[in-house]
Structure 1
Amino acid sequence: MYRLIFILFTVFFATTVHAQTKRFQFSAQKMGSPFGIILYAPDSSSAAQMAHDCYRLVDSLVLIFSDYIDSSELNRLCAQSGSGTAFKASPALFAILLRSKQAYELSGGNFDITLGPLTHLWRKARKSKEWPHPDSVASRLALTGSQFMILDAKTREVNLLKQGMQLDLGGIAQGYIAQQVLDLCRQQGFHDVLIDVSGDIAVSGKPPGKEGWNIAINMPGSKQDLQPKHLLLTDRSVTTSGDVYQYFLYDGKKYSHIIDPRTGYGITRQVNVTILANDCTNADWLTKACSLLPFRKARQLANSLGAELLVTELKNGKLRARYTKGLSNYWSK
């Protein structure tokens, strides 16, 4: 996820508010992007300790989930693909794989973490600026499909049936980690908190004296221009997917980093998809699935999970916005 959502504040430094709490802000480079924490605490010592515990949790999960770290648990699992040998997953890895498999089924296959062979191919293509041969795309597409990832909930065992399968949690892990960090803060008694994982945002409570957290969203295709309406959120999560930062220009078309599981190629619509959900994990993967679905089906999928959907698209130079009915309850006044 890349920064397509902005947090708006009229004050950017710690200020004293009611109930003798102060605003503290922390940022650290995690997963290749800024990981921000804003929380209200009675003193700097307790705030700093909470932030330290949060980042320690992030580091522990990254070592499990990352496909960039050769020794990660995820990559050790993938190394056994096609061997016929079950892999005993840790509780954390099994939990996110189970959520991912459920997302695959709920989305009709439009969200699929087994696209790893293709995401690796397109990462190299964007870096080298060389369009991959169609045969390379087809051969990697043949290695995908979450129906070939078998999970045993009783034993936490995982079987990847095809040799060469590679899992990529990039479409769900940031939201999952943001939610885990928010839950940790709540457990430790911090209730007015915002977690920002490069645009995957999870909030608890609200800044004291405010009606909620004020969130702005990018215009499609723009890094700086913001949509005129802002969101006002409490105890919700929001994330946006688009093609501002990762894409491939080829033969006059702009291919997004969001890959269509049916073709192996990135989608070409210039569209931003924003999801509001009770859980940041759902918000994260829903943006990917809904980017591939027609609006009517995307709306049905979001509504089935109690989420709200906003789709903004540039078509022939004109901005078009479509959204679920309940989203109007979250516009800032």
Structure 2
Amino acid sequence: MWRLIFLSWLVSPPTSHPQLSFRFVSPRTVSPQLKRFHFTENKMGSPFNLIFYCDDSLRAVQLSKECFTIVDSLNAIFSDYMEESEINRLSKQPASKKVKVSAELFSMITQSRRAWINSGGTFDITVGALTRLWRKAKKEKRFPEIEEIKQAKKTTGFEKLVIDSHSNSVSFTLKGIELDFGGIVKGYAAQKMIDHLKSKSISMALADAGGDIAMGDAPPGKQGWTISINLPEQGLDVWDKKLELKNCAVATSGDIYNYTLHNGKKYSHIIDPQMGYGVTSQRNVTVIAKDGATADWLATACSILPIKKALALMKKESAALLIATIENEKIRIYKTEKFDSYFMR
């Protein structure tokens, strides 16, 4: 996943907590009691950054612990790396057996079903077998065989997942279906952190879950949080225009960091469920939406959909989209009408 970069001024005093990277600076404006706190931990295979404003150092440390504990609890449900995660245990169940799942997992499955329908099947959590195949092949430094992809595709398709809303249970129509929430769970986790802080009367906050960012109110004296955008094939270079956001979420998708190179062509880590292959278009996608989970899955879907369909989907979801792609060796920008309103003025 390529990255959004939140811009900030940091002062880094020695940390007094062995597991947290603890930083703060006093804000330049409004309340003299508020301090800016920045905590960092590695979660879900990515650096998670949490920034918020609070008037008490001890309370800030406690709140950060609570937020990262929430992320750990979500990882125990949605990780496809942890052998005993809830989704991995679910995938081992016999076909047609109804399994009652946790409220968190059931909620995410129902949200993912809506995303699957609205995206025309381009966002699909049943791509787990394909994800594992590509991950294994990359580790072995080889390209997946056509027959391997055909076999993995047999267990792909949300229609093979049966949802019973009366009992909060799910079942599979055939054995071997594996779930992958990688295209939605980090945005969901970032939003959960922001929501938790709001429940504790902390409104000025930003949670960055490996590039999927959810935000509360703007920092003191600011109109919003300042976010920079990478451009395709430009490494760490960022666009000269910057976003200024609050009370929303922003997510990105692209192949700048994670891809497989085969015969001179880049195959993104984002897999097209209908084709079984990683996306090959040189496209970076930025989505601004009402919450982290929505921004995350929309960024995934818009990396796969044709550009016109991606723009239409964003209109339906009341979200904003910017696609930076390379055409004829030049960067071309596509965006929804409302995207420009989020740029700094």
Paired residue type of 1:177: A
**Equivalent-residue separation in structure 2 for 1:194 and 1:294 (angstroms):** 31
Paired residue type of 2:56: D
Q: For 1:49-128, what aligned pairs fall within 5 Å after superposition?
A: 49-82=62-95, 84-128=96-140
Paired residue type of 1:50: L
Q: Note if 1:30 corresponds to 2:46.
A: no
Aligned pair count? 331
Q: Note if 1:326 corresponds to 2:325.
A: no
The equivalent of 1:265 in structure 2 is 277
Q: Note if 1:209 corresponds to 2:221.
A: yes
- Work out whether residues 178 and 197 of structure 1, in 8 Å CA contact, stay in contact via their aligned partners in 2: yes
Q: CA deviation at 1:223?
A: 3.3
The equivalent of 2:58 in structure 1 is 45
Q: CA deviation at 1:59?
A: 0.6
Q: CA deviation at 1:127?
A: 1.5
The equivalent of 1:315 in structure 2 is 327
Q: CA deviation at 1:92?
A: 0.7
**Equivalent-residue separation in structure 2 for 1:61 and 1:247 (angstroms):** 26
Paired residue type of 1:27: T
**Equivalent-residue separation in structure 2 for 1:100 and 1:62 (angstroms):** 17
Per-residue displacement from partner, 1:260-316 (whole Å, max 9, x unpaired)? 112101111110011000111010000111111122211111111110000001223
Paired residue type of 2:61: A
- Work out whether residues 7 and 215 of structure 1, in 8 Å CA contact, stay in contact via their aligned partners in 2: yes
Per-residue displacement from partner, 1:144-163 (whole Å, max 9, x unpaired)? 10011111112100011121
The equivalent of 2:17 in structure 1 is none
Q: For 1:7-22, what aligned pairs fall within 5 Å after superposition?
A: 7-12=6-11, 13-16=24-27, 17-19=29-31, 20-22=33-35
**Equivalent-residue separation in structure 1 for 2:303 and 2:44 (angstroms):** 23
- Work out whether residues 2 and 254 of structure 2, in 8 Å CA contact, stay in contact via their aligned partners in 1: no
The equivalent of 1:176 in structure 2 is 188
**Equivalent-residue separation in structure 2 for 1:62 and 1:72 (angstroms):** 8
The equivalent of 1:6 in structure 2 is 5
For structure 2, the 5+ residue unaligned runs are 12-23
**Equivalent-residue separation in structure 2 for 1:114 and 1:54 (angstroms):** 28
Paired residue type of 1:7: F
Per-residue displacement from partner, 1:156-212 (whole Å, max 9, x unpaired)? 000111211000010111111111111111011000000000100000001101111
**Equivalent-residue separation in structure 2 for 1:11 and 1:136 (angstroms):** 48
Q: CA deviation at 1:4?
A: 1.0
- Work out whether residues 81 and 165 of structure 1, in 8 Å CA contact, stay in contact via their aligned partners in 2: no
Per-residue displacement from partner, 1:106-130 (whole Å, max 9, x unpaired)? 1111100100000000011111111
**Equivalent-residue separation in structure 1 for 2:207 and 2:169 (angstroms):** 31
Could you tell me the TM-score, scaled by structure 1's length? 0.97
The equivalent of 1:303 in structure 2 is 315
**Equivalent-residue separation in structure 1 for 2:81 and 2:322 (angstroms):** 31
Paired residue type of 2:26: T
Q: CA deviation at 1:75?
A: 0.6
The equivalent of 2:240 in structure 1 is 228
**Structure 1 range deviating more: 313-322 or 133-142:** 313-322
**Equivalent-residue separation in structure 2 for 1:22 and 1:317 (angstroms):** 46
Q: CA deviation at 1:221?
A: 2.6
The equivalent of 2:292 in structure 1 is 280
For structure 1, the 5+ residue unaligned runs are none
Cα RMSD over matched residues?
1.1
Paired residue type of 1:52: K
Q: Note if 1:148 corresponds to 2:147.
A: no
Secondary structure of residue in 2 paired with 1:248: strand
**Equivalent-residue separation in structure 2 for 1:10 and 1:187 (angstroms):** 26
